[in-house]
């Protein structure tokens, strides 16, 4: 990519649950090379690379998925919690019959951490390179707790309807 130029990376629906084009520029790559804080564009592009080179060719997209870090972040959780909850719940419900582990790169505002959620087993893995406790980010915890409760409730309703 020439200096000041941009490139379009298509993010198909299978990656984050919706289809869009991601623009990435030379300055985004410089975040990585200069050891600066990386932005969501770099994280999304890396996820696209993993999807193309590792997940899809090896059939791992059946067992693993990603949630969009631009949609699940602290700023949106604080300003539009219902939107974030609806997005996460929709992705989990779209995959309710799969034994799937979902990765959520989460930006706390200057720091990235990773959540991995297995909704069918109601297990949440929390990986933070700073060693912070899960309770350091109470808004994130409330979001995940709310989503898992709604997932459990909707799954039980659907199960009972099928049983009837």
pLDDT of 94-127, one tens digit each?
998 888 999 999 988 888 999 999 998 889 999 9
Cα 45–chain centre separation: 13
CB 98 within 8 A of CB 64: no
* CA atoms in the 13 A half-sphere facing the CB of 52: 10
Neighbours of 69 (CB within 10 A): 21
Distance linking the first and last C-alpha atoms of the chain: 58
Q: CA dist 29 to 25, 36, 38, 45, 147, Å? A: 7, 10, 9, 10, 34
In this prediction, residue 164 carries a pLDDT of: 35
What does the alpha-carbon distance between residue 121 and residue 98 come to, in Å, rounded to a whole number?
Answer: 11
pLDDT at site 15: 93
Cα 83 to Cα 43, 49, 59, 160, 161, distances in angstroms? 21, 27, 30, 27, 27
How many other CB atoms sit within 10 Å of the CB of residue 37? Answer: 10
pLDDT of residue 157: 56
Determine the pLDDT at residue 12: 92
Confidence bin at 33 (pLDDT 50/70/90): confident
- Which tokens sit at 50? 């993993």
Phi, psi angle pair for 9, to nearest 5°: -115, 115
Secondary structure of residue 39 in the 3-state scheme: coil
161/143: higher pLDDT: 143
User: What is the reported pLDDT for 64?
Assistant: 95
pLDDT value for 113: 93
Quick: pLDDT tens for 122-148.
899 999 999 998 888 999 999 999 999
Residue-wise pLDDT tens digits, 40-74: 999 999 999 999 999 999 999 999 999 999 999 88
């Amino acid at each position: 990519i020439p200096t000041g130029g941009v490139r379009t990376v298509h993010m198909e629906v299978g990656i984050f649950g919706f289809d869009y084009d991601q623009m990435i520029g030379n300055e985004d790559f410089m975040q990585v090379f200069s050891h600066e804080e990386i932005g969501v564009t770099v994280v999304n592009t890396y996820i696209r690379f993993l999807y193309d080179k590792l997940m899809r060719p090896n059939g791992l997209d059946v067992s693993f998925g990603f949630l969009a870090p631009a949609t699940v972040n602290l700023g949106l959780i604080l300003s539009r919690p219902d939107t974030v909850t609806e997005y996460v719940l929709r992705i989990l419900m779209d995959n309710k019959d799969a034994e799937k582990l979902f990765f959520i790169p989460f930006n706390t505002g200057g720091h990235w951490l990773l959540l991995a959620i297995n909704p069918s087993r109601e297990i949440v893995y929390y990986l933070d390179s700073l060693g912070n406790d899960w309770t350091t980010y109470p808004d994130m915890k409330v979001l995940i707790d709310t989503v898992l409760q709604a997932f459990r409730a909707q799954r039980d309703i659907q199960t009972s309807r099928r049983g009837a």
